């Protein structure tokens, strides 16, 4: 199963690269408002490993993985790693209501793409979908579907990215 998943990820990477969905340098040109209406520039995260997670409140697998994303975030305090969860296509009010109803407080940045422009820019065909970038903004891995982000294999993926 893991080899099939890796093959699928490689195919996704190849498709995204061939469509020009994003170039390494354009990652840092992106900006999104957060749930407090502050404009967040991804260039603020240069030099850090970045996990971009695209999600929506109406997506059960997205909602299910949120607590494990928080636990992953908690495993890497004070390190050159950041998780940015970008809500795709919903309003600020919807996302705030969702966050207030969670049992787990989310302490990583929640950004808003109310127009859904990232679906085209990143070639997103389903949610959740995540992209792991190295310190230079180079794509390391594309991850389709939900994960238990605090499982050892996922933690090792982040550790490996940080150590390179």
What are the residue boundaries of the structural domains of the chain, listed by start? 2-21+34-163
Identify which has the larger pLDDT, 154 or 122.
Answer: 154
pTM of the model: 0.83
Residue 78's pLDDT is 86
Predicted confidence (pLDDT) at residue 3 exceeds the cutoff of 80: no
pLDDT reading at 36 higher than 80: yes
Q: What is the DSSP string of the chain?
A: -HHHHHHHHHHHHHHHHHHTS--HHHHTT-EEEBTTS-EEEGGGGTTSEEEEEEE-TT-HHHHHHHHHHHHHHHHSTTSSEEEEEEEES--HHHHHHHHHT-SS---S-EEEETT-HHHHHTT--SSSEEEEE-TTS-EEEEEES---TTSHHHHHHHHHHHH-
Q: Give the pLDDT confidence score for residue 31 in this predicted structure.
A: 94
Q: Is the pLDDT of residue 100 over 70?
A: yes
Sequence-ordered list of residues with C-beta below 8 angstroms from that of 15, at least 6 positions apart, any chain: 123
How many residues in total does the chain contain?
164
Whether 18 shows a pLDDT value over 80: the answer reads no
Whether the CB-CB separation of 89 and 56 falls below 8 Å is answered with yes
Write the pLDDT tens digit of every residue in 56-98: 999 999 999 999 999 999 999 988 999 999 999 999 999 999 9
As beta bridge partners, residue 41 has 31
Residue 162 scores a pLDDT above 60: yes
Q: At 128, is the pLDDT very low, low, confident or very high (cuts 50, 70, 90)? A: very high
* Greater pLDDT, 4 or 158: 158
Residue 39: pLDDT above 50? Answer: yes
* Residue 118: per-residue pLDDT: 85
Q: CATH classification of 2-21+34-163, choosing from 3.40.50.11690, 3.30.200.20, 3.40.30.10, 3.40.50.150?
A: 3.40.30.10
More confident residue, 156 or 119: 156
């Amino acid at each position: 199963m893991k080899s099939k998943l890796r093959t699928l990820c490689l195919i996704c990477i190849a498709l995204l690269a061939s469509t020009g969905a994003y170039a390494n340098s354009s990652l840092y040109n992106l900006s999104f408002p957060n749930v407090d209406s502050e404009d967040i520039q991804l260039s603020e995260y240069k030099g850090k490993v970045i996990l971009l997670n695209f999600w929506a409140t109406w997506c059960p697998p997205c909602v299910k993985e949120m607590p494990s994303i928080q636990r992953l975030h908690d495993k890497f305090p004070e390190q050159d790693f950041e998780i940015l969860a970008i809500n795709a296509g919903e309003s600020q009010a919807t996302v705030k209501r969702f966050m207030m109803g969670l049992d787990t407080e989310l302490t990583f940045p929640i950004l808003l793409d109310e127009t859904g422009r990232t679906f085209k820019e990143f070639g997103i065909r389903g949610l959740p979908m995540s992209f792991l970038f190295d310190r230079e903004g180079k794509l390391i891995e594309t991850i389709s579907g939900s994960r238990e982000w605090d499982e050892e294999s996922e933690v090792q993926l982040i550790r490996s990215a940080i150590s390179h």
